[in-house]
Structure 1
C-alpha cells in the first residue's frame, strides 16, 4: 500500500489514441513486425513524487478472425509523465487502440524545503 504524506493530493487523467494502423497497413494490423506501441504522456502539472498510474482500454478495434490479446501498462513513470504501452502477440490483428489513464499522487507544496 502506498501512503501519501501531504495535504495536497493531485488527480490527473486523460484519453489518448495510441495508434491507428488499419488504413496504412501498419504492423499491428498486418500481424507482422513490432507488436508493441508506446505513447508518451505529460501530466498537466508535475507531481511531488511519481504518482500511481492506472491505465485501461477506452477503445480497441480488432480483427474478429483471431483471439483478442492485449497487455496494457504504464511504464517509466516520473513526476512529469509516463509511457502508455500496448502489446499484443501471436496472430492478433489490431486496427487501432485508445487508452485512458488516471494518475493519483502527492503535489508539491509551497512549504516544501529544498536546501540545495
Structure 2
C-alpha cells in the first residue's frame, strides 16, 4: 500500500490513441504484435511519481476475429507517463480511447525549499 503525507494531487485525462481505420494504419490492417505509445504530461508536477491507472473508455474493433487488447501506464515520472496499447495476432482495431487517472503527493502552496 502506498501511503501519502500532506497534500494529494489527482489528475485525469482522456486521449484517442489512434484512428487507424481512417488511413489503413497498422492496427487496422496489420497482424502480429503491434504497439502504440503516447507520451502524456501532467499539468503540474507531482512531488513523487504518482500511481497511474489507464483504462479503455472507447473501442472500435472488428468482430471477425478475437478482441485482444493490453493497455497500461509505463515510464511514470513526476511530470508524466506513457500510455501503452498493444494487440497481437489477427485482431483488427479501428480506434481506441484511453482514460487515465494519476494520484500522488502534490506540492502545497506553503512548501518551500531551503538549499
TM range (shorter): over 0.9
* Paired position in structure 2 for 1:46: 45
Q: How many residues align?
A: 114
TM score, norm. by length of structure 1: 0.92
Gaps of at least 5 residues in structure 2 are none
SS in 2 for 1:22: helix
1:1-116 alignment to 2 at 5 Å?
A: 1-6=1-6, 8-32=7-31, 35-109=34-108, 110-115=110-115
CA distance in 1, matches of 2:112, 2:5: 12
CA RMSD between the two structures: 1.4
Q: Which runs of 5+ in 1 are unaligned?
A: none
SS at match of 2:21: coil
Q: Distance in 1 between matches of 2:59 and 2:94?
A: 8
Structure 2: how far apart are the matches of 1:79 and 1:111? Answer: 17
Runs of 4 or more off by more than 2 Å in structure 1? 31-34, 109-115
* TM value normalised by structure 2: 0.93
Task: Kindly state the Cα deviation for residue 23 of structure 1 after the two structures are TM-superposed.
Answer: 1.4
